[in-house]
Structure 1
Amino acid sequence: MVVSELVTNAVKYAPGPVRMELRVNAHAVDVVVWDSDPIMPAARAAGPGRIGRHGLEVVKAVTEDLFIEREPVGKRVAARIALSDPPRSATAHR
């Protein structure tokens, strides 16, 4: 779902090419999507009447971290998906 949301947004809104990488280590999977659109995405405020455009909110809710960085051309969006649940003490601070 994270890959689908990030790649769909990049293809839908970026005027040029899109690149996607998956990086896997013992603790997490990083989904990294680069596109040529310089506009930085932002999650919208909650709106029960809004139909669609909830993708970034959902990605933020199901990932451990979400990084959005401007690049010389376009931007890079990286979402980290934990491969195991964090220790209880870490979840208490969220």
Structure 2
Amino acid sequence: MVRRPVLSAATFVGDEPVAEARDTARRFLTEVQAVHGIPVSVRAMGMVELVVSELVTNAYKYAPGPCLLDLEVSDGAVAISVWDTDPTLPVARAADPGRIGQHGLEIVMAVCSSFEVRREPVGKRTKATVTLADDPGGHPAGRLL
């Protein structure tokens, strides 16, 4: 039996959409477990909320207008995609233990099994993938050591 992907899409406009985006991700993964029977580890739930928070924060902070959040579960992972209106691609900054803030991209890249950013005809899309099940003794992001 071929399992179809489980999808969710949400648009955020206006003041402080970050908490609403995190809630959307939490509700989506809770439904993925309850309705579709797909296991989601506690680690994955927390990592997805963190990644959604960081990506939507960047969209809210640096891009005028709305941002779109797409979540798709397939093949044991959730793909988190955030579109915004700013075509400028983010760049992870060099490590600096004295720097306060601006570590979001570094964090996202560390906890995800994949990460990519691409320009679109309008704006850009940032996509990150989080593995849903824990790998005993493996890398926390689900990557091979």
**TM-score between the two structures when normalised by the length of structure 2:** 0.59
The counterpart of 1:62, out of the listed 95, 111, 115, is: 111
Unaligned runs of 5+ in 2: 1-49
Say whether 1:6 aligns with 2:59: no
Residue 43 of structure 1 corresponds to 92
The letter of the residue matching 1:91 is L
Aligned counterparts of 1:12 and 1:22: Cα–Cα separation in 2: 21
Q: Is the 8 A contact 1:33 1:77 kept in 2?
A: yes
Q: Sequence identity of aligned pairs in percent?
A: 58
Residue 20 of structure 1 corresponds to 69
Aligned counterparts of 1:51 and 1:79: Cα–Cα separation in 2: 24
Aligned counterparts of 1:4 and 1:44: Cα–Cα separation in 2: 19
Aligned counterparts of 1:26 and 1:66: Cα–Cα separation in 2: 16
Q: Which has the higher contact order (CA 8 A, sep 6+)?
A: 1
Moved over 4 A (4+): none
Structure with greater Cα Rg: 2
Once the two structures are TM-superposed, the CA of residue 15 in structure 1 deviates from its matched residue by: 1.2
| Equivalent residue pairs, number | 91
The letter of the residue matching 2:69 is M
Give the strand-richer structure, 1 or 2.
1
Once the two structures are TM-superposed, the CA of residue 25 in structure 1 deviates from its matched residue by: 1.5
Q: Is the 8 A contact 1:16 1:37 kept in 2?
A: no
**TM-score between the two structures when normalised by the length of structure 1:** 0.89
Show CA shifts across 1:28-51 (max 9, x none). Answer: 001100000011001100001100
Aligned counterparts of 2:110 and 2:72: Cα–Cα separation in 1: 20
Aligned counterparts of 2:128 and 2:60: Cα–Cα separation in 1: 17
